[in-house]
C-alpha cells in the first residue's frame, strides 16, 4: 500500500477484503428467505438493498463499473454509482448481489453473492454489450488455449497439458439453446459436459481451481460476469479469454461508440489491467464453490471465499450470525 495518504494514490489492501465479505454475507442472508419461493426479483431486491447498505460503510472510494440488473429490469446497483465512505483507496467495483437469481428462486444450486474490486480505472467497462463469449481454465491453459480455435482442439490441447485423456475431461457450459452446437462439439470430442442452469461466475472459477472436477468453462454468458471472473482468475493464475457478443447491430454500435473492440479477444489483462484485484463470494444456495446460507436454530451460517490477485491468496471464511438480529 502506498505511503501517500492522498485518496487517489492508495491501492486496495488485504484488509479491504474482510470488509467486503460483510456485504456479500448480508446480501446472501437477505436472499435466504426467498430461496425456492419462485420470485427471483424479490430475492435480488433484498440482496441489492443489503449489499448497498453495507457497502456505504466500507473504507474506500468505490465506483461501480459493472452493475447487474439492466438485462431484465431487475433491481440493481447501477453503473456509475459511488459506494463506500469516500475515504481510503479509489477502486473500480463489479457487483452481482446474486449471480443466479433464477437458481435462487427455484431453490437450485450454485447461486452466489459476488463483489470484485480492482484499482480505479483498471476494469473494462463492458456495460454497453451485455453478453460475452468466454473460455476459462486453470493455469495449464495459459499459452495453450485460444478461444478462436475449435472447441475440440482446445479440449485436446488442455487434456494434453493436464496429463489427462480427453474422455476424462469435464466442460462446463450454460444450458441454453444458443449452445446446442457447442454442446454437440464438446461431446463429439469425447469430453463430457457439465450443464449449468445459471451462474457462470462459479462455473468459471471452478474451471480454474486446482481441486475442481471441472476442467474448462465455455460459452456465451454475461459480460459483467466475465469481468468479475477475470478478477478471480488473477488470483488463481488461470486462463480467461472473452469476445463480446452483441445481440444485434444496434448493440454492436453502442459498444463501438463506448470504445469497446468488437471481434477482439480480451485476455485477463484486457478485462482487468490491474493485478491488485479482489474477488469475494458468499454462497446463497449450496454449490461447488461455496456452501449456501444455513439456518441452524438461533444461528445463521454463511460460507465465503476471498481471492486476492496481488498475493495469489485463497481464503475461506465461515461466519455465524445471531438469527434474531437478521430475521
Q: What is the pLDDT of residues 223-273, one digit of tens each?
A: 988 999 999 999 999 999 999 999 999 999 999 999 999 999 999 999 999
My answer on whether 195 and 242 are in the same domain is yes
Q: What is the pLDDT of residues 187-214, one digit of tens each?
A: 999 999 999 988 789 899 999 998 899 9
Query: Is the pLDDT at 26 greater than 60, yes or no?
Result: yes
Provide the pLDDT for residue 7.
Answer: 41
- Please list the helix, strand and coil fractions of the chain in percent, rounded to the nearest 5, in that order: 35, 25, 40
pLDDT at 14: 63
Are residues 215 and 140 part of one domain?
Answer: yes
For residue 5, the model assigns a pLDDT of 39
Q: What is the pLDDT of residue 69?
A: 45
Taking the C-alpha atoms of residue 120 and residue 274, their distance in angstroms, rounded to an integer, is 9
Mean pLDDT, residues 145-170 taken together = 98
Given a cut of 50, whether residue 136 has pLDDT beyond it is: yes
Same domain membership, residue 170 and residue 52: no
Q: What is the CATH number of the domain that holds 77?
A: 3.30.540.10
Of the pLDDT bands very low, low, confident and very high (cuts 50, 70, 90), residue 68 is low
Task: Look at strands 294-296 and 299-308 and give their pairing.
Answer: antiparallel
Containing H/E element for 114? strand 112-119
pLDDT for 16 equals 86
- Domain end point (choices 246, 271, 296): 271
Q: Which residues are annotated as a binding site for substrate?
A: 99-101, 131, 176-178, 198-200, 222
Average the pLDDT over 107-117 and give the result. Answer: 93
Task: Say if residue 261 is in the same domain as residue 301.
Answer: no
Residue 270, C-alpha cell as written in the block: 484486457
Total number of domains constituting the chain: 2
- Looking at the chain, the whole-number percentage of residues with pLDDT higher than 90 is 72
User: At which residue does the C-alpha cell 451485455 appear?
Assistant: 130
Instruction: Please check whether residues 249 and 288 belong to one and the same domain.
Output: no
Closest of 21, 47, 13, 74 to residue 315, by C-alpha:
21
Q: What is the pLDDT of residue 326?
A: 79
- For residues 136 and 264, membership in a common domain is answered with yes
pLDDT of residue 74: 44
The percentage of the chain sitting over the pLDDT mark of 70, rounded to a whole number, equals: 93
Tell me, yes or no, whether 263 and 151 share the same domain: yes
Separation of alpha carbons 326 and 295, rounded Å: 11
Q: What is the CATH number of the domain that holds 186?
A: 3.40.190.90
Q: Annotated binding residues, as ranges?
A: 44, 68, 96, 99-101, 131, 176-178, 198-200, 222, 225
Residue 95, in any domain of the structure: yes
Q: Say if 265 falls within a structural domain.
A: yes
37 & 169 share domain: no
Domain of residue 308 covers 16-120+276-325
Whole-number Å distance between alpha carbons of 68 and 46:
14
Helix or strand or coil: residue 283? strand
Q: What pLDDT shows up at residue 200?
A: 85
The tens digit of pLDDT for each residue in 222-231 reads 898 899 999 9
- Confidence check: pLDDT of 221 > 80: yes
Residue identified by cell 488442455 is 158
Q: Does residue 8 belong to any structural domain of this protein?
A: no
DSSP H or E stretch at residue 276: none
**Is the domain of 173 the same as that of 238?**
yes
Terminal-residue alpha carbon distance, the chain: 38
Find out whether 19 and 127 touch, Cβ atoms under 8 Å: no
Cβ–Cβ under 8 Å, residues 44 and 69: yes
Question: In which residue are the cell numbers 488485504 written?
Answer: 14
* Average pLDDT for the chain: 90
CA separation for the pair 249, 254 (Å, rounded): 9
Q: Is the pLDDT of residue 117 over 50?
A: yes
Residue ranges of the annotated binding site for Mn(2+) are: 44, 68, 96, 99, 225
Q: Does the pLDDT at position 104 exceed 50?
A: yes
Spatial distance between the Cα atoms of 61 and 147, rounded to a whole number of angstroms: 35
Q: Would 7 be classed as within a structural domain? A: no
Amino acid at each position: 500500500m502506498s505511503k501517500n495518504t492522498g485518496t487517489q494514490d492508495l491501492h486496495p489492501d488485504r484488509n479491504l477484503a474482510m470488509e467486503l465479505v460483510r456485504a456479500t454475507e448480508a446480501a446472501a442472508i437477505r436472499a435466504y428467505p426467498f430461496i425456492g419461493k419462485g420470485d427471483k426479483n424479490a430475492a435480488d431486491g433484498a440482496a441489492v438493498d443489503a449489499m448497498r447498505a453495507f457497502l456505504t460503510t466500507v473504507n474506500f472510494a468505490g465506483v461501480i463499473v459493472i452493475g447487474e440488473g439492466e438485462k431484465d429490469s431487475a433491481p440493481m446497483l447501477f453503473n456509475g454509482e459511488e459506494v463506500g465512505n469516500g475515504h481510503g483507496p479509489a477502486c473500480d467495483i463489479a457487483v452481482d448481489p446474486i449471480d443466479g437469481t433464477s437458481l435462487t428462486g427455484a431453490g437450485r444450486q450454485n447461486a452466489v453473492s459476488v463483489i470484485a474490486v480492482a484499482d480505479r480505472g483498471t476494469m473494462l467497462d463492458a456495460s454497453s454489450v451485455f453478453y460475452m463469449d468466454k473460455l476459462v481454465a486453470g493455469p495449464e491453459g495459459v499459452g495453450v488455449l485460444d478461444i478462436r480455435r475449435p472447441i475440440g482442439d482446445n479440449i485436446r490441447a488442455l487434456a494434453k497439458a493436464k496429463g489427462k485423456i480427453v474422455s476424462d475431461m469435464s466442460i462446463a457450459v450454460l444450458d441454453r439453446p444458443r449452445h446446442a452446437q457447442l454442446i454437440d462439439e464438446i461431446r463429439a470430442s469425447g469430453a463430457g459436459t457439465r450443464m449449468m442452469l445459471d451462474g457462470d461466475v462459479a462455473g468459471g472459477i471452478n474451471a480454474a481451481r486446482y481441486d475442481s472436477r471441472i476442467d474448462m468453462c465455455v460459452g456465451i454468458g454475461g459480460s459483467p460476469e466475465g469481468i468479475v471472473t477475470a478478477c478471480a482468475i488473477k488470483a488463481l493464475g488461470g486462463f480467461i479469454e472473452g469476445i463480446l457478443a452483441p445481440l444485434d447491430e444496434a448493440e454492436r454500435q453502442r459498444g463501438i461508440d463506448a470504445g469497446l473492440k468488437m471481434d477482439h479477444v480480451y485476455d485477463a489483462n484486457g478485462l482487468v489491467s490491474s493485478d491488485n484485484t479482489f474477488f469475494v463470494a458468499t454462497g446463497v444456495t449450496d454449490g461447488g464453490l461455496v456452501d449456501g446460507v444455513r439456518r441452524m436454530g438461533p444461528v445463521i451460517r454463511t460460507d465465503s471465499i476471498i481471492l486476492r490477485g496481488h498475493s495469489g491468496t485463497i481464503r475461506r471464511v465461515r461466519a455465524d450470525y445471531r438469527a434474531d438480529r437478521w430475521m
